[in-house]
Structure 1
């Protein structure tokens, strides 16, 4: 390996972070073909040669109070062990991908020991927990921001930051391959299809999937011939299968092994848990009903820290309730079905939101791999 080929420690904490890290690694390897990367991650990163010392499943926590407290000791022990191993490996830089509650503490330790630290995906300090910016200043040499308004926030606080666009905007085609996706999934080209995305974490599935399945049953009664697809992430099928079985015969449902992008490309509408998946749905120009539900103590805590009226990323980026959000007590089968039916009954409304999402797609499509690798090279002084 030449001196121009860096060695990078990395941590990505869930499927969305794994995908973002995989796309980043692809760009970095175009610049440095012999780049080495190692740490904690998932299968997408491993396709880019990432050496996963631990799997990202270990970081999966839903909520911000009881569920986190039950696993806090284990997470602290894992972070300490990972930090020890990274300090021994002496990477040229460390890149923490999202997962700020885990990564910022690790980054602070590594930075103090002299390792360059980069955080990919700005924590949502503009939405809630703005006080974390002081911890970010302590922990991070450079922040790679996905959204155009974020670098100014960091620059005001004396933190180096770059807008790199969103890698999903590069990965998802501007023109949605609807027919190809339907063919790949065995769906009729003329059917109306709804994608159910209840989240990737076990806690999300436990709290959100019943409302989405219940809504699907109601929608099927009102709309004969309606089809449903449900991309199931690895590790949640044991939770999902009994829920799905309760609705056997009530509607036409195809449970997929992953393949969420194909599901979003194929569908006419998605009922979806708040998170990165909502941005993916927007990039596929799909109308949606955003949902979320969590433990009531976690919900109370989040309510006390929120700065904006919106939770879903499409609404935050477009500064309005462009798509409905049904959260916590409002996340019921009846309410979700009603909001979905309003989309089904208004093709012109669906077309209008699709146009707004197309404009957002162009804004976020910035060749993230190149921009991010330029920023990493700057941090490394190469």
Structure 2
């Protein structure tokens, strides 16, 4: 069995962060989202892994390498543009051969991994198996319709009038029969080859498509709100550990991990929280559910329920909450006089300024 991990896409919902960084590499608890998926694939006993990459190929290659750090043997497959999940299967045809495979969306996060569903698929070997979960906004997802016996009878991508609230989670398992399906479908109204259309093609021709409804935690980390929520979920599992230095004037409360080389001076950190290697926290408050990456500087500031990426500097800020702060960002107070705001913002930024 092989794995196909999708790391194409522009990550428009995470802009401006993704103007300069792959969305799959945005960290959760100081580890890229993609790494959690690769670890789950390895834990499921799958080794040969194809990673579909696009414009951010260089970054993904630099972060993942040959896959040996995860116990994987990685092959990179270039996709010239985001043309749909089914198109990723099309371009991976030679790599996949006639093997069964699990397709994993690189920006998805599933607590508990995929070992159980992979074992079930290997044992039962239907033509396809999909993972489903109940969602509050089904128009934003691929949606499955089940009959009274919980058999899959229909699928539709982002329907205007959903027939259920069961969304497809970003993990799919296939036998080689799916290759005929992805070659047979036409682009959708979005101009993409939809995996839901390929699954429907299989259903219409009597193939065995089964589903598993998961009750565990799942998130598509495609926007800031979901990214912060996943960060919160992972931080709740953090084991407290202090490998860096903390002076006597500081207070560490709860599950806080302070990495090697980090320094904390006259500050209060309330967990769950993670402080990255080489980061300096001075005269500051770090609140719960906050991840501070490597080589950051937080001084005379308060920050809570946020993600701060590496080499960012936050100095003299009274309070920051519910924020995603990018690499090498500098955050400082504006001069009191004249009373103006000076902004350098990337495309698609969102800013809230009190008036």
Q: Does TM-score exceed 0.5, indicating one fold?
A: no
TM-score by length of 2: 0.35
TM-score by length of 1: 0.33
